[in-house]
Amino acid sequence: MAGNIELLNSVLAQAKAENRAALVGYLPAGFPTVDGGIRAMTEMLDGGCDIVEVGLPHSDPVLDGPVIQTADDIALRGGVKIVDVIRTVREVHAATGAPVLCMTYWNPVDAYGVERFAADLAEAGGAGCILPDLPVEESEVWRKAAEQHGLATVFVVAPSSRDERLAKITAAGSGFVYAASLMGVTGTRESVGREAQDLVARTRATTELPVCVGLGVSTPAQAAEVAAFADGVIVGSAFVKRLLVAGDDLTAGLAGLRTLAGELAEGVRNRS
């Protein structure tokens, strides 16, 4: 089976045609368990997410905050392996028909085997990979394998990226560009929102690819704010928190995820 980059492209294009941003949800595989995670991501998509990112839990997730690190730790202590990540992609995509991406640091892919990882992800119906710590300069081997298997290669840009660097990153990527910022962590939300808006504008000047923003968005109002200037709104920690708060009550956690997905989906449709 070829990968699903075309499905990803069409879902993003459909959201644009509806004059709204796409809603992208994130959860690590194996959290709270492998089966529980599959059910959780399915609920997120059924509740209103357009796309889901399956995180590959890593022992040193340098770019993730404490909430996602906690979930990664639970998954790793539960013994999650790459085969479980691939199974999660397969079952979530099969259950929903939605684009499912894998978000992973480079080391696990390198250790597993680049060609093997791309082939297995595509065979599972995956749409592509987000690789936050893979420098464009060192990405050729991965990009060739991804292209061969019909997978998107999504790179991450940040407010610190200079325009020349942005052009280099976006020229190498496919699917969409992940614009990372830190709402609510550095300064006030308003000022960080402006910084993200500036980053989106600078990124769009270099590419036709959609630009999706991961900003620590957790409320419908924040989703609407970001949706006003981005092609997609990426939400991770807020979903993870709903499951963490539910603890051992998976039924309550799943209901919380579906509710949050619905509220955020309403938010991206009410862009200001």
* Residues taking part in catalysis: 53, 64
Q: Are 98 and 48 within 8 A, CB to CB? A: no
Strands of the sheet with 51-55, listed across from one edge:
152-154, 128-130, 100-103, 51-55, 22-28, 232-235, 211-214, 177-180, 156-157
Counting Cα atoms < 13 Å in the Cβ hemisphere of 137 gives 1
Q: What are the backbone angles phi and psi of residue 173, rounded to the nearest 5°?
A: -90, 175
> CA nearest 25: which of 169, 229, 241?
241
User: Cβ(154)–Cβ(184) under 8 Å?
Assistant: no
| 267, amino acid identity | G
Please state, in angstroms and rounded to a whole number, the distance separating the CA atoms of residues 265 and 272.
14
